[in-house]
Amino acid sequence: MSQHTAISQLKDYIGQQILGQSTLVDRLIIALLADGHLLVEGAPGLAKTRAIKVLSEGVEAEFHRVQFTPDLLPADLTGTEIYRPQDATFQFQKGPLFHNLILADEINRAPAKVQSALLEAMAERQITVGSVTYPLPELFLVMATQNPLEQEGTYPLPEAQLDRFLMHVFVDYPSAETEREILQLTRAEARQGLSEPAKPTQTVSQNALFEARNEVLDIYMSDELENYLLQLVLATRDPGRYDEKLSAWLEYGASPRASMALDRCARAHAWLSGRDFVGPEDIQSVAHDVLRHRIILSFEAEAEGITKDQFIDELISFIAVP
């Protein structure tokens, strides 16, 4: 079985278990292929937790969920030294971050020290306890969630940490027909006595996933299209070159990490579509999720009710497609 077939079957399996959230499913697979982390924002009950749990069932990987709360400590993520009185030594007890797939539920409820511990794990793929540094697994993906409905008692993520996420994805309520299908699925699981989603008949090995990542990196992108990708990111830093209105709407533009993320995600999108080359539609398809959390709008834009997605739409319309 080819790597593309295996990943396509994984995507189909997740889509059967997560109804009405095709964008979330697609972005989870892209993050897996692009070796990045995902920030998901949406109201409670929209299958965010279920999505990554189902993903862990379809991949040979260890999953752990951490509920972030204001009293959480860094050691609750990284682990801690445990004293052994029988031989008067300290032994390191690994924390949840040593799993492959991590769900950081309501990440903005944790204080700064906890967020910094997670940031080191995401950026450096390692954690430091005392004077000792421990490497994390090669397959390591953090999916963090935020609840947009309740902001009291939360700690907003700083821009530097937001930039570490490959994509920022919004999830919305399903349609009435999809919600009917969700009811039918949950009733079927209840009849079968299933407390968790049905397991797939076949899982994707980590080696197969790493080979798929190499195939994604080998996807062809023309020089003209690479320049188009760079122009999109550079335009967020100097939108006045294209339109004065855009310049008035923007406070800060995207960092070079945006270019790297857009490149990886566009290649993964093309690979998932069964093509061996990147097209403009691949870049445009992932541009909002890659740029959304990396730009800061001005007070003027907020006063006019302009959203980041509207700004990105306008930006894309001004950049010539090769």
The pLDDT tens digits of the residues spanning 50-64 come to: 899 999 999 999 999
Q: What's the fold here for domain 219-318?
A: Helicase, Ruva Protein; domain 3 (1.10.8)
At residue 152, the pLDDT reads: 62
Note the helical H segments in 176-303: 176-191, 206-217, 223-237, 244-249, 256-272, 280-291, 299-303
Q: Is 234 helix (H, G, I), strand (E, B) or coil?
A: helix
Cα–Cα distance for residue pair 321/228, rounded to 1 Å: 7
What residues does CATH 1.10.8.80 cover in the chain? 219-318
Tell whether the model's pLDDT for residue 195 goes beyond 70: no
Per-residue buried b or exposed e for 163-181, using 16+ beta carbons within 10 Å of the residue's own CB: bbbbbbbebeebeeeeeee
Q: Decide: 77 and 97 in contact? Cβ < 8 Å.
A: yes
pLDDT tens profile 90-110: 888 888 999 999 999 988 888
| Residue 192: C-alpha distances to residues 60, 189, 242 (Å) | 24, 5, 58
Options 3.40.50.720, 3.40.50.300, 3.30.2130.10, 3.40.50.1820; CATH of 3-205 = 3.40.50.300
Mean pLDDT score across all residues of the chain: 89
Mean pLDDT for the stretch of residues 106-118:
85
Q: Is the pLDDT of residue 156 over 80?
A: no
Which residues make up the CATH 3.40.50.300 domain(s) of the chain?
A: 3-205
